[in-house]
Structure 1
Amino acid sequence: MNIDVAGEVNVLWEEAQLILATYGFDVLGAILILLLGWIIAGWASSATRSAVERIAWMDGTVKPLIASIVRYLVIVITVVAVLNRFGVQTTSIIAVLGAAGLAVGLALQGTLSNVAAGVMILFLRPFKVGDYVTAGGNGGTVAEVGLFTTELTTPDNVYISVPNSQIIGGAISNFSRHSTRRIDIVVGIGYSSNIDTAFAALMKLAEEDGRVLADPEPQVSVRELADSSVNVGLRFWVNSVDYWPTLFDFNKAVKETLDANGVEIPFPQRVVEIKNPQ
């Protein structure tokens, strides 16, 4: 059987020319609209973030979310414009978006739960940007609350991205929520040491440090009569920003103060009594 190859090629070329003539400009226009929309979405997000950064009364936690919403809104409008380029009617677009939204919602339940959790975080406000928190099994300073994740920075400058659903589904500890925090230092002294001397030395140490708040006043107490020591506790309050420096300084100062006052900090001991020496 003879096949006219040249004729077949000519037919295919004519069909290709017809398709290009009919839809070429539409495809090219759609590509240009997509590129332009993507660029505008990035620009609009940056412009929105810059604008809301100048609003003093707006919480820093909400600002990144507003910028993200603007970006995704521009992208949705771009997709609608592309579909309209191919003659899809508005009602059809809405129907398609509704069906696509349902399908995507079923396929991305976990992702959408992160979005819902992000909204709950902004509504309940368990923390804000700049707070130090432990949430979702991670700890760090809140850098940004996004639509899907919350960004944390650890004290050693490690970036952590935690899904919002993981945060809202567990316990959240906010160490920056209140302006003051309490420090408890427990130290063991020997049973032969004078408790009143230890009390006076520790109280003087707290009263002479300017970071220790006078209200509530510092307290010294016997916490426990342990096996090898009498455990004495020093309790006082400081401003939250002074918590870690004060704690580190007092751990050193308590040891030096007790040594200077002749108060023994004993090692663990055991008393063995032999009932039958033979």
Structure 2
Amino acid sequence: FILNTFGIQTTSVVAVIGAAGLAIGLALQGTLSNVAAGVMIIFFRPLKIGDFVQVNGVMGTVQDVTLNYTEIASIGNVQVVVPNSEVWGNTIYNYSVYDTRRAEWEFGVGYGVNLAQAEKVIIDTIMADERSLSDPEPFIQVNNLGGSSVDFLVRVWCKSDVYFKYQADMKRQVKEALDAADINIPFPTRTLVYENSSADEAAGVAAE
């Protein structure tokens, strides 16, 4: 208004300032969204330094949380820097919040096996490990009648900090226990049935 009073045309000046403001705003949009998300993360604390998390497809231990980004050390100890907008805007799996976790397995045995015996071998083997918790109560039952096996579903609770190794160890220990008890662990097989004429023809070709 003052410049116009002195006869200076300000229309072009205002247009330039508006365009510059728009450009700066667009350039800062990503940064500002990261800062806003960073404030929310710091305030609500869905994760913190030292937590083992999975965020936006990245799994690892949180190393740092800033206003702009969250630093995660992957399982292979690789630094992964995730913008805070992608942290706050995605589902966060935090494996460090609760003290216990439920491990789950599925073990298959042959159709000719005594199911009561197989069930006892499986659950006794798992519960003999000191990492297995008796409370909540362990769970085991026949869950599926597969094409070549009867499948047991087993769920047992353990401490969160031993979960991954515990779950892997139990697979081996149960396999060895079933072998020792002479309980068959089947694998997929295929049976081919021929008609008599086809079978005779196949035998003749094989003989030649």
TM range (shorter): 0.7 to 0.9
1:123, CA displacement in angstroms?
A: 2.3
Structure 2 match to 1:193: 113
| Residues 67-125 of structure 1: CA deviation (Å, up to 9, x unaligned) | xxxxxxxxxxxxxxxxxxxxxxxxxxxxxxxxx99874442101110000111112222
Q: Secondary structure of the residue that 2:196 maps to in structure 1?
A: coil
Structure 2 match to 1:96: none
Q: Match for 1:277 among 178, 186, 196?
A: 196
1:206, CA displacement in angstroms?
A: 2.3
1:150·1:164 contact (CA, 8 Å) conserved in 2? yes
1:150 correspondence with 2:61 = no
| Residues 3-62 of structure 1: CA deviation (Å, up to 9, x unaligned) | xxxxxxxxxxxxxxxxxxxxxxxxxxxxxxxxxxxxxxxxxxxxxxxxxxxxxxxxxxxx
Distance 1:166 1:207 in 2: 41
Q: Select the structure that is richer in strand.
A: 2
Structure 1 ranges of 4+ moved more than 6 A: 100-103
Distance 2:160 2:120 in 1: 26
Equivalent runs, 1:2-17 vs 2, <5 Å:
none
Q: Secondary structure of the residue that 1:232 maps to in structure 2?
A: strand
Structure 2 match to 1:179: 99
Q: Secondary structure of the residue that 2:161 maps to in structure 1?
A: helix
| Residues 203-229 of structure 1: CA deviation (Å, up to 9, x unaligned) | 111221111111012121111101011
Is the alpha carbon distance of 1:222 and 1:147 closer, same or farther for their aligned partners in structure 2, counting shifts above 3 Å? Answer: same
**Which has the bigger relative contact order, CA under 8 A and spacing at least 6?**
2
1:163 correspondence with 2:83 = yes
Q: Match for 1:259 among 179, 182, 187?
A: 179
Aligned length: 178
Distance 1:148 1:129 in 2: 15
Equivalent runs, 1:1-278 vs 2, <5 Å:
104-274=24-194, 276-278=195-197
1:140·1:155 contact (CA, 8 Å) conserved in 2? yes
Identity %: 46
Q: Which amino acid aligns with 1:277?
A: N
2:126·2:174 contact (CA, 8 Å) conserved in 1? no
Q: Which amino acid aligns with 1:261?
A: A
2:108·2:149 contact (CA, 8 Å) conserved in 1? yes
**Max radius of gyration: which structure?**
1
Supply the RMSD in Å over aligned alpha carbons: 1.8
Q: Which amino acid aligns with 2:98?
A: H
1:242, CA displacement in angstroms?
A: 1.4
Q: Which amino acid aligns with 1:259?
A: D
Q: Which amino acid aligns with 1:160?
A: V
Structure 2 match to 1:19: none
Unaligned runs of 5+ in 2: 1-19, 198-208
Distance 1:137 1:265 in 2: 35
TM-score normalised by the chain length of structure 2: 0.80
Q: Which amino acid aligns with 2:48?
A: K
1:206·1:218 contact (CA, 8 Å) conserved in 2? no
| Residues 236-260 of structure 1: CA deviation (Å, up to 9, x unaligned) | 0001011122112111101001101
